[in-house]
Amino acid sequence: MSIANNVNQVRQTIDAHRTDQAVTLIAVTKSVGPDVANALYAEGIRDFGENRPEGLLEKVEQLPPDAKFHFIGSLQTRKVRQIIDRVAAIHSLDRLSLAEEIDKRAQGVIDCFVQVNVSGEASKHGLEKEEVIPFIENCKQYPHVRIIGLMTMAPFTEDETVIRETFRNLRQLRDDVARHAYPHAPCTELSMGMSNDYTLAIEEGASFVRIGTVLVQ
């Protein structure tokens, strides 16, 4: 494994597939220790993704202070207080009880992505597409919650048409939300794309990609 080569390859691939939008590379470090995360940091990575509070807190303690952490997994309401003031963004806002707890525990405004189950798969978390706008409207009662975008995961398939359609649907939904110009929900960002499909996600408008395997394998 060469972290330097992996990071360089992923960056080149991102640049080759993006148009004019900026793309933030989130290194998903949930399956590796702080040593690997620090090696990624040494190659210029500053955004890290974790799906468990324990893993996130461990990395926070052992990486330099300018590292930014994104919570990318399903977040239990009772664990919000453990991570709330340690995260740059939460990518899995999917229910009002979670928004209420974030608002209750946060010291400042927290950037959040609403998780959407675009594909409708029973195994995936997230709101149905038709639930998103009413949900975002309800979130205006929580002043510490700022919805900066939407997040989804595509089906695990080799059919690029299905994957592209998933990402395109999320982009269209993001545009629908943005047209409402909610003060608490600018909704300009798209968190979509992982190691197996991030090139397609970028071509469909992703501004944040969550990449683990191809960086740390």
pLDDT in the model for residue 1: 60
DSSP secondary structure, 21-57, as one string: S--EEEEE-TTS-HHHHHHHHHTT--EEEESSHHHHH
On the 0-12 / 13-18 / 19+ scale of CB atoms within 10 A, 182 is middle
Element (H, E) at 202: helix 198-203
On the 0-12 / 13-18 / 19+ scale of CB atoms within 10 A, 82 is middle
The one-digit pLDDT tens for each residue of the chain (217 residues) are 699 999 999 999 999 999 888 999 999 999 999 999 999 999 999 999 999 999 999 999 999 999 999 999 999 999 999 999 999 999 999 999 999 999 999 999 999 999 999 988 877 889 999 999 999 999 999 999 999 999 999 998 999 999 999 999 999 999 999 999 999 999 999 999 999 999 999 999 999 999 999 999 8
pTM: 0.96
CA pair distance 45, 13, nearest whole angstrom = 15
pLDDT in the model for residue 120: 80
CA pair distance 118, 123, nearest whole angstrom = 12
pLDDT in the model for residue 188: 97
pLDDT in the model for residue 193: 97
Nearest to 206 by CA among 194, 193, 196: 193
Supply 193's token pair: 């794309």
